[in-house]
C-alpha cells in the first residue's frame, strides 16, 4: 500500500487510481471516515480517464494515529506534502464534510498554484459552531454530545449516526441501506480514538471564512437542503457567497452523505464541472 511520511513522521496512506497522465482529481473525506468513502466517485472518474487520488487523513483509516496534529492546519499541510510528493498540478480538489474544510484550509495556507478548481460537498465551512458573530451555527452542546457519545460507547455511537441523520435514514419513507450503515461503522472504527475525538473540535470550531475568500478558482458547492448534520443555511449558502467564483447547487431532500446516497448525481456533477 502506498504511503508518504510527513515531516513530523506521520505515515499517510493514499490511493492513486486511473491514468497517471490523466487530469488530477483529489478527494478529502469526512469525519470519521477514510478514502474508502470515495470509491463510487473515484471508480467513475478513473474510468473516464482521470487520475483520482484520495488519502486517509492522519488519525483516520490506514494512516498513522499520532497524538498531536489532529487539527486543520496540520491536516492541510499533510495533504500539501502529498501534492509535493506526487508533483500534482492543475488538480481539482473535492472535499466532503470535514474534507471540505480541509480543502478550504489547504488553499488558505498553500494557495492555488497547484489547484484549478474545487468542489465542496456537504461541507463544514465557513464555521459550524454558533458564536456571537455566527448566530446561525450549531450550539457547542451539539459537538459536546459528539464527544460524549465517543467516550461513552463509540461502537454504538458509530452505528447511531449512519442509521439516522447522516444518510437521512431516520426520515419517513427512507430506503435504508444496511450496507451503507455497516461501511460507515467499519470506516469509523478504524479511526484512531483520539483522532476521532480531536477532529470534532477541528470540524466544528475552525473558522474558514478567510480561507474561502482566498479560493480564487471556480468552486462548486453541492449541498442537500435536508442535511441534518451540516445545515445548509449556516454552511453552503454562506460559503458559496464568500468564494469569489462560487456556484451553489442544492439537492432537494438531500441528506449529508451525498457521495453515497446520491452517488450517480454527484458523479455527473463532478464530471460536468471538470469538463466545463
229, 223, 207: which is closest to 126 by C-alpha?
207
Pairing state of beta strands 51-55 and 11-17? antiparallel
Look up 207 and say whether it is catalytic. Answer: no
Alpha helices in the chain (DSSP H): 39-47, 72-86, 98-110, 140-163, 178-190, 193-205, 209-213, 236-242, 258-261, 263-275
Catalytic residue among 28, 35, 64, 97: 97
Is 223 tagged catalytic? Answer: no
> Which cell numbers in the block locate residue 20?
497517471
Name which of 76, 84, 34 is nearest 55 in CA terms: 34
**Alpha carbon of 66 to those of 118, 186, 217: distances in Å?**
28, 20, 33
Bridge partners of residue 120, in order along the sequence:
95, 221
Among residues 213, 246, 191, the alpha carbon closest in space to that of 104 is found at 213
- For the question of residue 264 being annotated catalytic, the response is no
Active-site residue identified among 77, 198, 227, 269? 227
Rounded Cα distance between 146 and 100, Å, is 19
Instruction: Indicate which residues carry an active-site annotation.
Output: 97, 227, 256
Amino acid at each position: 500500500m502506498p504511503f508518504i511520511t510527513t515531516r513530523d513522521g506521520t505515515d499517510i496512506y493514499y490511493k492513486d487510481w486511473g491514468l497517471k497522465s490523466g487530469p488530477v482529481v483529489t478527494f478529502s473525506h469526512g469525519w470519521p471516515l477514510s478514502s474508502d468513502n470515495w470509491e463510487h466517485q473515484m471508480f467513475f472518474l478513473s474510468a473516464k480517464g482521470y487520475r483520482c487520488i484520495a488519502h486517509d487523513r492522519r488519525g483516520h483509516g490506514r494512516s498513522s494515529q499520532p497524538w498531536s496534529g489532529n487539527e486543520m492546519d496540520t491536516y492541510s499541510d499533510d495533504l500539501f506534502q502529498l501534492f509535493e510528493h506526487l508533483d500534482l498540478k492543475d488538480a481539482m480538489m473535492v472535499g466532503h464534510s470535514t474534507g471540505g474544510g480541509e480543502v478550504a484550509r489547504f488553499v488558505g495556507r498553500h494557495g492555488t498554484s497547484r489547484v484549478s478548481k474545487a468542489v465542496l460537498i456537504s461541507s463544514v465551512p465557513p464555521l459550524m459552531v454558533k458564536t456571537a458573530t455566527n448566530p446561525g451555527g450549531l450550539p457547542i452542546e451539539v459537538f459536546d454530545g459528539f464527544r460524549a457519545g465517543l467516550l461513552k460507547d463509540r461502537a454504538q455511537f458509530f452505528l447511531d449516526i449512519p442509521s439516522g441523520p447522516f444518510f437521512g435514514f431516520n426520515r419517513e419513507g427512507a430506503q435504508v441501506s444496511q450496507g451503507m450503515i455497516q461501511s460507515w461503522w467499519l470506516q469509523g472504527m478504524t479511526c484512531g480514538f483520539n483522532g476521532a475525538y480531536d477532529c470534532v473540535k477541528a470540524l466544528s470550531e475552525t473558522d474558514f471564512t478567510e480561507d474561502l475568500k482566498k479560493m480564487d478558482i471556480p468552486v462548486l458547492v453541492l449541498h442537500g437542503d435536508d442535511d441534518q448534520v451540516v445545515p445548509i443555511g449556516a454552511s453552503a449558502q454562506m460559503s458559496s457567497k464568500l468564494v469569489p467564483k462560487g456556484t451553489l447547487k442544492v439537492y432537494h431532500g438531500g441528506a449529508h452523505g451525498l457521495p453515497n446516497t446520491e452517488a450517480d448525481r454527484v458523479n455527473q456533477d463532478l464530471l460536468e464541472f471538470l469538463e466545463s
